[in-house]
Amino acid sequence: MRDAGVELVAETTSHAAVGIVEAFHNLHHYTKLYRTLQSALKQRKPDVAVLIDYPDFNLRFAERVRDHGVPIAYYISPQIWAWRPGRMKSIKRLVTKMIVILDFEEKLYRDAGVDAAFVGHPLFDALKEVDRGALKKEFGGRPLIGLLPGSRKKQFSALFPLMLKTAELMSKELPEARYVVACAPGIDPGPATERASRSKAPVRVVWDRTPDVMAASDLLITASGTATIEATLYGTPMIVTYKLNPLTAATLGPLIKIKTYALVNIVAGREIMPEFYQRKAKADLIAREAVSIIKEDRLESMRNGLAEVRAKLGTPGASKRAAAEVLKVLDSSRSRR
């Protein structure tokens, strides 16, 4: 956004967190951010506010926005279909237009009386064109297993050792396989490279090349989150895993109303990619499943499932369509003045 010419009054990405305990550590930052945005709201007097994702913060801030009579376009819906559906009442009261990126969300909101528009998934616009053949030759391995421990430092620290151990167990059954770890831009690859060099499995670490790893791999072992959708767009089968802080998991568990947690499976409406969370996030269990997928030749059927999900994610141009919906809100607001 900065590169596109947006003036940033605050920077939030370095404080992103998943979970109650994790968010608590950043409470001071969120409080300061809230006050900063309140001040900006009073001084700038915007014609429309575009709130993006970040529901626990944004729905609270939306109250202040509406106090100033500013219409709200909310882009990327809170996951009310997964937990805390009671938030729909606040959304109906506060949000002028809900702009959603998953196809089933549009009907969900419209049935509740919220004006909503499905624009497709923005990752289509960010998809990197790659030469799969050249990448497979570079990384080697038949099969090639991609390891994606996540883009946040705590997430990476929790999942990288798990994935490294998984690779070591797999290599006993698949000696011809090779493994490549994708370090996101915010992750220092040095410690991971040093640790991988001591592994009993042939593991290579690369930095800022996640799309290359996704495209080249025959199978991914990935952290849950948006990465599962990006991998879907590349058509690469995956095993999904995640570990929350135990207190966060114990607190949120009873509130969650869905049986599958990976976005790819939620969009599919069923589990098409295996999931291993919390107590099931163990190297021996993940390794056994990965070896089974490869030896039992299940990759092709998994790719077919991913093709079905991809068809539900819309088409390229989501960002332009989202912008058009925001302009509709702006035009409608001006016409009523």
What is the sign, positive or negative, of the torsion defined by CA atoms of 159, 162, 165, 170? negative
Q: For position 258, what pLDDT does the model report?
A: 54
Q: For position 323, what pLDDT does the model report?
A: 96
**Is position 263 within any domain?**
yes
Same domain? For 199 and 296 the reply is yes
CATH number, domain at 199? 3.40.50.2000
Q: For position 255, what pLDDT does the model report?
A: 47
Same domain? For 105 and 200 the reply is no
**Is position 20 within any domain?**
no
Residue by residue, pLDDT tens for the chain (337 residues) are: 889 999 999 877 655 555 555 555 567 778 899 999 999 999 999 999 999 999 989 999 999 999 999 999 999 999 887 778 889 999 999 999 999 999 999 999 999 999 999 999 999 998 988 999 999 999 987 899 999 999 989 899 999 999 999 999 999 999 999 999 999 998 999 999 999 999 999 999 999 999 999 999 999 999 998 999 999 999 999 999 988 655 555 455 554 555 677 899 999 989 999 999 888 999 999 999 999 999 999 999 999 999 999 999 999 999 999 999 999 999 998 887 6
**Is position 179 within any domain?**
yes
Closest to 210 in 3D by CA, of 232, 184, 229: 184
DSSP code of residue 128: P
Cβ contacts of residue 211 below 8 Å, gap of 6+?
127, 128, 130, 230, 234
Same domain? For 180 and 308 the reply is yes
**Is position 16 within any domain?**
no
Same domain? For 213 and 300 the reply is yes
Residues 159, 242 contacting (CB under 8 angstroms): yes
Pairing of strands 178-183, 144-148: parallel
Q: For position 182, what pLDDT does the model report?
A: 97
CATH number, domain at 75? 3.40.50
Same domain? For 110 and 228 the reply is no
Same domain? For 287 and 236 the reply is yes
Burial pattern 82-96, b for ≥16 Cβ within 10 A else e, equals ebeeeebeebeebbb
Q: For position 27, what pLDDT does the model report?
A: 72
Same domain? For 186 and 98 the reply is no
Closest to 201 in 3D by CA, of 174, 180, 162, 171: 171
Q: For position 29, what pLDDT does the model report?
A: 79
Sheet holding 116-118, edge to edge: 49-52, 72-75, 97-100, 116-118
Same domain? For 307 and 324 the reply is no
Burial pattern 275-308, b for ≥16 Cβ within 10 A else e, equals bbbeeebebebbbebbbebbeeeeeeebeebbee
If one counts the domains in the chain, the total is: 2
Same domain? For 210 and 273 the reply is yes
What range does the domain containing 114 cover? 46-120+317-336
